[in-house]
Amino acid sequence: MAIFPSREADVAALASDIIHGLSTYTEDFPASPVTPDALHTALQAYVTAREEAVASQGLTADAFNVKDEALDNLTDAMRAVLRYAEDHTKYNDGKLKLLGWGSRKSPKPLQAPGQVRTLEVKRQGKGWVYLDWKDPTEGGSVAAYRIQCSHPEEGLWKDVGMAVETESLLTNQERGTDLHYHIIAVNKSGEGEPSNIVRVLL
């Protein structure tokens, strides 16, 4: 069957498709467990919380906790609508596509992701750094991103974080020394080539 997205940007895009489908094709989906207005409210709550979390530069964890809770509420509502739509249409692919969804499909072998692109340091402060990067253009879909750090003189990379979006705030980082960071995309089939390296002195 269609796979629910893992990246936050893709979740938000699917939510918009579902809202449009429910609002436009009311006769096809007459008894959705979540109304388009309620789903729109959940989407806006997530978007607002995400913007506030980014604007805070991560100086507190509270903003990101609020964002994550809003995302959970949004995905719960979306999944309820999609389960209803699948049951109601008996997995009719044409009707499910009205919501940006799809019917059951034969599984295809999953490839390992490609190389993460354009890693950048967007912001940094005392003991923290905010990284941003772009999705791979090749390979299989990305399940998560492994964030690794290294001391240049040691040359050994260690995991310092995981992300499902193409950005991450790292706190409690070592201060007063050069640090190198790179990103690796991963999924169930393996991992891609490391991204470019960025140098940070916190």
Look at residue 1 in the predicted model and tell me its pLDDT: 58
Look at residue 113 in the predicted model and tell me its pLDDT: 95
Look at residue 105 in the predicted model and tell me its pLDDT: 57
| Nearest residue to 22 (alpha-carbon basis) of 1, 46, 43 | 43
Look at residue 176 in the predicted model and tell me its pLDDT: 87
Q: If phi over 0 gives left and psi between -120 and 50 gives alpha, with beta otherwise, what is residue 38?
A: alpha
Residues of the chain with pLDDT below 50 are 59
Q: How far is 15 from 54, CA to CA, in rounded Å?
A: 21
Look at residue 190 in the predicted model and tell me its pLDDT: 93
Q: Which amino acid belongs to residue 143?
A: A
Q: Is 28 helix (H, G, I), strand (E, B) or coil?
A: coil
CB 183 within 8 A of CB 145: yes
Beta bridge partners of 162: 146
Look at residue 23 in the predicted model and tell me its pLDDT: 94
Look at residue 57 in the predicted model and tell me its pLDDT: 56
Look at residue 137 in the predicted model and tell me its pLDDT: 92
Q: Is 20 helix (H, G, I), strand (E, B) or coil?
A: helix
Angle of CA points 60, 7, 88, to nearest 5° = 125
Look at residue 98 in the predicted model and tell me its pLDDT: 93
pLDDT tens-digit readout, 12-25: 999 999 999 999 99
